[in-house]
Amino acid sequence: MLVQVALPVPLYRVFDYRIPADVNAFSSGSIPKVGCRVEVPFGRQTLIGIVINHIASADSSVPSNKLKAIKRCLDDEPILNEKMLTLAHWLARYYHYPLGDVLSVMLPSLVRQGKPLDLLITHWRVLPQVTDDAFRANAKKQKQQFDMLKLHGERGASEDVLLLEGMQRSFLKTLEDKGLIERYIQKRSAPTPVSLAKMPLDLNEEQQQAVDAIIAAHEAEKYSGFLLNGITGSGKTEVYLQAMQAVLETGKQVLILVPEIGLTPQTRARFASRFAAQIVLLHSGMTNTYRLQGWQDCRTGHAQIIIGTRSSILYPFANLGLIVVDEAHDSSYKQQDTLRYHAADVALYRGLQDQIPVLLGTATPTLEHLKLVDDGKLIEYQLRTRPGNAKPAPMQLIDARLQTTHQQTQDDGARYDTGLTDKLIGAIKQTLEAGDQVLIFLNRRGYAPVLLCEACGWQADCPRCDAHLTVHYSSQNKQNAYLKCHHCDWQAYIPAVCPDCGSQNLDAKGMGTTRLSENLHAIFANPQTSKQTYPIIQIDRDTTRRKDSWENIYQRINEGKPAILVGTQMVAKGHHFPNVTLVCLPNADRGFLSADFRSPEHTAQLMIQVAGRAGRGDKAGRVLIQTLQPENELLLKLVKDGYLSFARSLLQERKMMGLPPFSHAALIRCEGKTLAATTQALKDAIAGLPASHNLAILGPIDAPMSKKNSRYHSQLLLLAKNRPQLHQVLNQWWPSVLLMPSAKYLKLTLDIDPVGW
Ligand code: ADP
Ligand code: ZN
Ligand code: ZN
C-alpha cells in the first residue's frame, strides 16, 4: 500500500510515498492515517505534508523503484478529519489553488512546522496574599503592570494574552522575583455548559421573527442561509445573541466572524456580558503559540464561542452549531493574497457541510447577497427600525459650490481655507454647544495627499509606484515632516525647492485627517480665540498604532463630553458612540465618479455605515454630506431613497450589462519587470484558451495602479454566464498557463470572484 501526501509546493498534484519496512518505527505502530502529518523526503529537502489518501501500489503512476519512503509520522490520530479534508478539496477546486498550499493556509504555522499540538502554555496569576502595599510609591510602572494582571482575577491569564495587552516580559520576571505573582501551566479541562450571565432583551416583532427562523433551522438540524438585513442600530447583535443562546444550550459551538478593524475589546465584552462561556478570540495580532492554542481549543470543543476575523472560517471545530458573519458586506472578508477565498462564501459552504444555519448580518448587503435572496438561496429578514426612541439619522446634502468655505487666520495674518463650508461649521458648533459629539469622516490619513509646485505644476510622486506621495506634517512638531507613499512605504524629505524649476512655491494640496484635525483645532480648540474649547480626537492608522491607543480613544469618547472625532474608515465599522448626534462627510461621495464599476456600491456602503454612527443613543442624529456634485444621480438616489433602493437599481444596471453577480468572474493578474512582458504573457495565455471556451474576455489591460513597488501589473478578466462553464475552462487552462516559459520569471495569479479590478 502507498500513501498519498499533499505537500506545501505550488504544484497541482499530490505525491506518492512508500511505507518504510519497519512500520513500528512510527509511534502508533501502524500506517499513517488519512489526515495525519508526515515528514517526507522531497528532492533534497525534507517536507511536512498531510496524508490525503491510501492507494494500492499498482495504482501509482510512479515506478516502484523510484518511490521514496515516509521518514516519520507526526500524529497517531488525524489532525484534520474527513470534513476538513473535504473542505480543503473544495477550496482547492473552487479557487484553483494547489491542495498542499490550501492546507498550508488552513494550518497554524506551528502545526505546519511539525510541533506537537498539545502546548503547555504558561499562565500567570497574582498570588492571593499580595496587597497593594507591596509597592513602593515610585514603582508606578510595576504597580500598573501588576494591576493589569490582577484584572484577570484569581486564574490570571496566559502569557500571550498578557503580552498582547501590553504587559512587558521583563516586568513579569521582576514581579515573579519579588514573590508577587507566579506562573503555572494550565491544563485544559472539559468546559462547563454555557449559562446566561444576563437576561436577554425583549425582542421587537421583526427581531423575534428572525430569531425564530434561525432557531427552527437549528432544531431541524438543517442548513439555511439567512441574510439579516437590518439598518444600522436596529439590534442585529441582539438577534445574534438570542439565536446563539439556543445553539449554545444544546452544547454546540458558535463562530462569529467580524471584520478586522472592529475587533476591539468591546466586541468580546458584548458576548462575555451575556454568556458565561469559554470565549476565544482569533485575529491577526496573535502570536504563533496563541494561534495554535486557539486552533486546538476550536478543534477539541474547549472553545464555546469563537470570535474571529476572516481566517477563522478555515479552523476545525468539534461541533459547530451556528456561524454568524457580522458586517457581511465588509471587503476584509475577501483574502487578497495566496488563497483568495471569501469568508462569507466559505461560511455558507461550511453551513451546508455541517447542516447548520449561517447568518449574514449587515445594514448594507452586497449586490451578490441581494441576488442570492432573489434566487431563493438566502432567506432575508429585515429589521427596519431602531429599538426605543432612536431614529435613523436623516441625510442632507450641502452644496459646496453655493456655500462659502470657512476661512481662518494664520499666526502671520494670512487667511487660509479650512475645506469646510460655513454651513457645516455652523452645524458642528451647534452640536457641540448642545453637549453632543460630532464625527467627521475623511478617508485619507496624513496631512495632505499631494505636494505641488505652484510655479511649474510638478508633484511629488513615488519613484516606485503610480501614486502621489502623501505629505506628513504637523504644525506642533514641524521637524517631523516627510513624504510617504501609502502603497509601498517609500519615504523622502520634503524638498526646500521644486526639484524641476527651483521655485520655493511648494504647496500641500488637499486634506488628510491630520490637516483637518488642525483646522478644527484652530476653530474649536484654541483658548486664545474661543471661550469654550473642545477636544479633537483623531482616529486613523497613525494615531492608533500603539496597542493601548484604541482603548484610550474609546475611553475619551465614552466619557460622553462634547468632542469632535475625525476618522478614516476605521470609524465606519460597527462602533457604538452613543453621544454622536452629527456625522459629517466632507468629501465621501468622490467614489461615485470612479471608473471601477464596483465603486458606487462600496462608496454607498461606507457612507451608510458612517452615517449609522449618528443618533444611536436616545438623542436624534443627523448626517450632512458636503458635495461638489449635488446633482449626481447616484448620490441623490442614495440620500432620497436609502441604501436598499439604491442597491436594487445598481443590481438592475449590472443585469443589463451582464456584470457580476449576473455573470461569474475570474481575474488573472500578471506581475513583472515591464508592462510589455506582463501584457505579452497574458496575450500568450489567451492564445492557449480552448477554442470552444465561450467566455467574455476583457483585456489584457494595465492594472489600475500598474506600477507598484517597482513592479508592473497587467490583468485579464474572464466572464462566464454560469459557474460550471467558468470552472471547466479554468480546470484545463489555468495549470497550462502556469507552465508557460514566461511564468518562470513572471508572477501569475488567479482570483475567483474578485471584489475589485
Ligand atoms: P446593530 O448591530 O444592528 O447596528 P445593535 O445590536 O448595536 O445594532 O443595537 C443597537 C442598540 O439597541 C444597542 O444598544 C442594543 O442594546 C439595543 N437593542 C437592541 N435590541 C433591543 C431591544 N429589543 N430592546 C431594547 N433595546 C435593544
Ligand atoms: Zn516647479
Ligand atoms: Zn510607492
Q: How far is the CA of 488 from the centre of ligand 1 (A)?
A: 41
Q: How far is the CA of 338 from the centre of ligand 3 (A)?
A: 22
Residues 6+ apart with CB under 8 A from 638: 395, 604, 607, 608, 646
Nearest 5°: phi and psi at 656? -60, -35
Q: Does residue 658 sit within a domain?
A: no
Share of the chain above pLDDT 70, in %: 99
Q: Torsion angle, CA of 542/545/546/548, rounded to 10 degrees?
A: 100
The 10s digit of each residue's pLDDT in 77-101 is: 999 999 999 999 999 999 999 999 9
Q: Give Cα separations from 367 to 95, 643, 649 (angstroms).
A: 21, 11, 10
Q: Which residue has the cell 482603548?
A: 551
| Whole-angstrom distance, CA of residue 90 vs CA of residue 348 | 13
What is the mean pLDDT of the segment spanning 561-589? 88
Where residue 712 falls (left for φ over 0; alpha for ψ -120 to 50; beta otherwise) is beta
Q: How far is the CA of 450 from the centre of ligand 2 (A)?
A: 14
Q: Does residue 46 sit within a domain?
A: yes
Of residues 30 and 701, which shows the higher confidence score? 701
Kindly state the cell numbers that stand for 465.
Answer: 509606484
In this prediction, residue 434 has a pLDDT band, given cuts at 50, 70 and 90, of very high
| Whole-angstrom distance, CA of residue 380 vs CA of residue 206 | 11
Q: Does residue 337 sit within a domain?
A: yes
Kindly state the cell numbers that stand for 53.
Answer: 489518501
How confident is the model at residue 427, as a pLDDT? 96
In this prediction, residue 191 has a pLDDT band, given cuts at 50, 70 and 90, of confident
How confident is the model at residue 119, as a pLDDT? 67
How confident is the model at residue 265, as a pLDDT? 64
Q: How far is the CA of 388 from the centre of ligand 1 (A)?
A: 9
For ligand 1, atom 26, the nearest C-alpha belongs to 387
Of residues 187 and 55, which shows the higher confidence score? 55
440 and 452 within one domain: no
Kindly state the cell numbers that stand for 423.
Answer: 454651513
Counting ligands in written order, which one lies closest to the CA of residue 241? 1
Q: Does residue 659 sit within a domain?
A: no
How many angstroms from the chain centroid is the CA of residue 355? 26
75 and 40 within one domain: yes
Of residues 187 and 727, which shows the higher confidence score? 727
In this prediction, residue 655 has a pLDDT band, given cuts at 50, 70 and 90, of very high
Kindly state the cell numbers that stand for 271.
Answer: 458576548
Q: How far is the CA of 514 from the centre of ligand 3 (A)?
A: 20
Kindly state the cell numbers that stand for 46.
Answer: 525534507
Contact assessment for residue 298 and residue 315, using Cβ atoms and an 8 Å cutoff? yes
Ligand 1 atom closest to 574 (CA): 4
CB-based burial label for 281 (10 Å; 0-12, 13-18, 19+): buried
Residues 6+ apart with CB under 8 A from 213: 224, 226, 379, 381
How confident is the model at residue 641, as a pLDDT? 93
For ligand 1, atom 2, the nearest C-alpha belongs to 236
Q: What is the DSSP letter of 542?
A: T
Counting ligands in written order, which one lies closest to the CA of residue 578? 1
Pocket residue to mutate for ligand 1, from 238, 264, 386, most atoms within 8 A of Cβ:
238
The 10s digit of each residue's pLDDT in 97-141 is: 999 999 999 999 999 999 988 766 778 898 888 887 778 877 888
How confident is the model at residue 159, as a pLDDT? 82
Residues 6+ apart with CB under 8 A from 624: 395, 396, 398, 423, 424, 427, 582, 583, 584, 585
As a whole number of Å, the CA-based R_g of the chain is 29
Q: Give Cα separations from 697 to 43, 546, 664, 667, 713 (angstroms).
A: 39, 46, 12, 10, 17
Identify the CA nearest to 676 among candidates 638, 714, 721: 714
The strand order across the sheet containing 253-257 reads 279-282, 305-308, 253-257, 320-326, 357-362, 224-230, 379-383
| Whole-angstrom distance, CA of residue 673 vs CA of residue 679 | 11
Contact assessment for residue 534 and residue 522, using Cβ atoms and an 8 Å cutoff? no
| Whole-angstrom distance, CA of residue 49 vs CA of residue 29 | 19
Counting ligands in written order, which one lies closest to the CA of residue 453? 2
553 and 692 within one domain: no
What is the mean pLDDT of the segment spanning 271-278? 92
562 and 422 within one domain: yes
Counting ligands in written order, which one lies closest to the CA of residue 456? 2
Contact assessment for residue 734 and residue 669, using Cβ atoms and an 8 Å cutoff? no
In this prediction, residue 531 has a pLDDT band, given cuts at 50, 70 and 90, of confident
Ligand 1 atom closest to 576 (CA): 7
Q: For residue 736, which amino acid is it?
A: S
User: Considering all CA atoms of the chain, what is the largest pairwise distance in Å, rounded to the nearest integer?
Assistant: 90
Q: Which residue has the cell 510622486?
A: 461
Q: Give Cα separations from 186 to 124, 127, 653, 714 (angstroms).
A: 10, 16, 58, 52
Pocket residue to mutate for ligand 1, from 237, 266, 325, 643, most atoms within 8 A of Cβ:
237
How confident is the model at residue 555, as a pLDDT? 85
536 and 504 within one domain: no
Q: What is the DSSP letter of 719?
A: E
Q: Does residue 75 sit within a domain?
A: yes
693 and 621 within one domain: no
- Report every protein residue that has its C-beta within 5 angstroms of ion ligand 2: 453, 455-456, 458, 498, 500-501, 503
Q: For residue 252, which amino acid is it?
A: K
Beta bridge partners of 405: 421
| Dihedral sign for Cα atoms in the order 99, 101, 107, 111 | positive
What is the mean pLDDT of the segment spanning 189-195? 84
In this prediction, residue 316 has a pLDDT band, given cuts at 50, 70 and 90, of very high
How many angstroms from the chain centroid is the CA of residue 678? 30
For ligand 1, atom 27, the nearest C-alpha belongs to 387
| Whole-angstrom distance, CA of residue 572 vs CA of residue 470 | 22
In this prediction, residue 158 has a pLDDT band, given cuts at 50, 70 and 90, of confident
Beta bridge partners of 334: 342
| Whole-angstrom distance, CA of residue 225 vs CA of residue 117 | 33
- Ligand 1: lining residues by beta carbon, under 6 Å: 201-204, 207, 230, 232-238, 387-388, 576
Counting ligands in written order, which one lies closest to the CA of residue 490? 3
- Packed helices 643-657 and 633-641: angle between N→C axes, nearest 10 degrees: 140
What is the mean pLDDT of the segment spanning 628-649? 93
Q: Residue 213 sits in a domain of what CATH number?
A: 3.40.50.300
559 and 625 within one domain: yes
DSSP letter string over 83-108?
HHHHHHHHHHHHTT--HHHHHHHHS-
How confident is the model at residue 416, as a pLDDT? 81
Q: For residue 510, which amino acid is it?
A: G
Contact assessment for residue 333 and residue 344, using Cβ atoms and an 8 Å cutoff? yes
The 10s digit of each residue's pLDDT in 330-372 is: 999 999 999 999 999 999 999 999 999 999 999 999 999 999 9
In this prediction, residue 263 has a pLDDT band, given cuts at 50, 70 and 90, of low
Please state the length of the chain: 757
Q: How many structural domains compose the chain?
A: 6
How confident is the model at residue 577, as a pLDDT? 87
pLDDT over 70 (residue 261): no
452 and 440 within one domain: no
Q: How far is the CA of 199 from the centre of ligand 1 (A)?
A: 14
Ligand 1 atom closest to 326 (CA): 2
In this prediction, residue 442 has a pLDDT band, given cuts at 50, 70 and 90, of very high
- Report every protein residue that has its C-beta within 5 angstroms of ion ligand 3: 462, 464-465, 485, 487-488, 490
| Whole-angstrom distance, CA of residue 564 vs CA of residue 580 | 9
What distance, in Å, lies between the first and last C-alpha atoms of the chain? 48
Contact assessment for residue 588 and residue 361, using Cβ atoms and an 8 Å cutoff? no
Kindly report the pTM of this predicted structure. Answer: 0.90
Counting ligands in written order, which one lies closest to the CA of residue 709? 3
Q: What is the DSSP letter of 69?
A: B
Q: Torsion angle, CA of 67/22/35/90, rounded to 10 degrees?
A: 10
Q: Does residue 600 sit within a domain?
A: yes
For ligand 1, atom 20, the nearest C-alpha belongs to 235
Q: How far is the CA of 237 from the centre of ligand 1 (A)?
A: 7
Pairing status of strand 157-158 against strand 122-126: antiparallel
The 10s digit of each residue's pLDDT in 198-211 is: 999 999 999 999 99
33 and 96 within one domain: yes
Range of 248-262, 415-429, 433-447, 533-547 with top mean pLDDT: 433-447
Q: Does residue 117 sit within a domain?
A: no
| Whole-angstrom distance, CA of residue 750 vs CA of residue 338 | 9
Q: How far is the CA of 368 from the centre of ligand 1 (A)?
A: 26
In this prediction, residue 735 has a pLDDT band, given cuts at 50, 70 and 90, of very high
Identify the CA nearest to 605 among candidates 306, 423, 370, 446: 370
In this prediction, residue 576 has a pLDDT band, given cuts at 50, 70 and 90, of confident
SS3 for 183-232 is EEECCCCCCCCCEECCCCCCCCHHHHHHHHHHHHHHHCCCCEEEEEEECC
Q: How far is the CA of 475 from the centre of ligand 2 (A)?
A: 24
Nearest 5°: phi and psi at 561? -70, 155
From 53, 85, 108, the end of a domain falls on 108
**H/E run at residue 655:** helix 643-657
Q: How far is the CA of 405 from the centre of ligand 2 (A)?
A: 28
Q: Residue 81 sits in a domain of what CATH number?
A: 3.40.1440.60
How confident is the model at residue 477, as a pLDDT? 81
Pairing status of strand 357-362 against strand 320-326: parallel
What is the mean pLDDT of the segment spanning 476-493? 92
Q: Which residue has the cell 468580546?
A: 268
563 and 519 within one domain: yes
From 319, 354, 389, the end of a domain falls on 389
DSSP letter string over 415-460?
EEEEEEEHHHHHHHHHHHHTT-EEEEE----SSBSEEEETTT--B-
DSSP letter string over 358-382?
EEEEESS--HHHHHHHHTTSSEEEE
Counting ligands in written order, which one lies closest to the CA of residue 199? 1
370 and 339 within one domain: yes
327 and 260 within one domain: yes
Q: How far is the CA of 387 from the centre of ligand 1 (A)?
A: 6
Share of the chain above pLDDT 90, in %: 68
Domain that holds residue 502: 447-511
Q: For residue 161, which amino acid is it?
A: V
Q: What is the DSSP letter of 635?
A: H
Q: Does residue 657 sit within a domain?
A: no
What is the mean pLDDT of the segment spanning 580-584? 94
In this prediction, residue 596 has a pLDDT band, given cuts at 50, 70 and 90, of confident
Tell how many helices (H) and how many strands (E) occur in the chain. 20, 34
Q: How far is the CA of 238 from the centre of ligand 1 (A)?
A: 6
From 488, 511, 534, the end of a domain falls on 511
For ligand 1, atom 1, the nearest C-alpha belongs to 233
